[in-house]
Amino acid sequence: MTAALDSLPCRVVLPPGWNDFFHRRGAQVWPGDNRRRYVRSHFPIRAIMQLLGNLPAVPRNHEKQVVLMKDISREGAGFLHATHVYPGERLRLWLPTGGHEYTVVRCARHHQSCYEIGAQIASDCPA
């Protein structure tokens, strides 16, 4: 995996003020109403992502790309990507611990080269 990470470019540009991104550690604390079933922990590493399918209106190539992991939980992951992806799209994330298929549930734009994606482990894949 290290060789793949070294051979692929990372096109994500962190938002202004995120200078501490790679130093964040531990469980995330969510104030107020939190409906998450599992605790998310900061997980600031580089990972490899590959989109697995196409939406009818959005043709995709299926090349592997480097993303910046933001956080992870028992059933989901948050990461930063350089382009927009849409809820419902399927992808595979390769982490140092292995690969899993996910379904995108949200995508928020920080700026032109940084989108924050929330995904959950695909329901038809074992956790």
Contact 81/67 with Cβ under 8 angstroms?
yes
Confirm whether 24 is domain-assigned: no
Share of the chain above pLDDT 70, in %: 90
Predicted confidence (pLDDT) at residue 126 exceeds the cutoff of 80 = no
Domain of 92?
2-10+42-121
DSSP assignment of 44-71 equals: --EEEEEE---BTTB-----EEEEEEEE
Confirm whether 37 is domain-assigned: no
| Average pLDDT score, the chain | 88
Predicted confidence (pLDDT) at residue 2 exceeds the cutoff of 90 = no
pTM for this entry = 0.86
Report the CATH number at residue 94: 2.40.10.220
Structural domain count, the chain: 1
Question: In this predicted model, what pLDDT tens digit does every residue of 74-114 receive, in sequence order?
Answer: 899 999 999 999 999 999 999 988 999 999 999 999 999 99
Confidence of residue 38 (pLDDT cuts 50, 70, 90): confident
Confirm whether 127 is domain-assigned: no
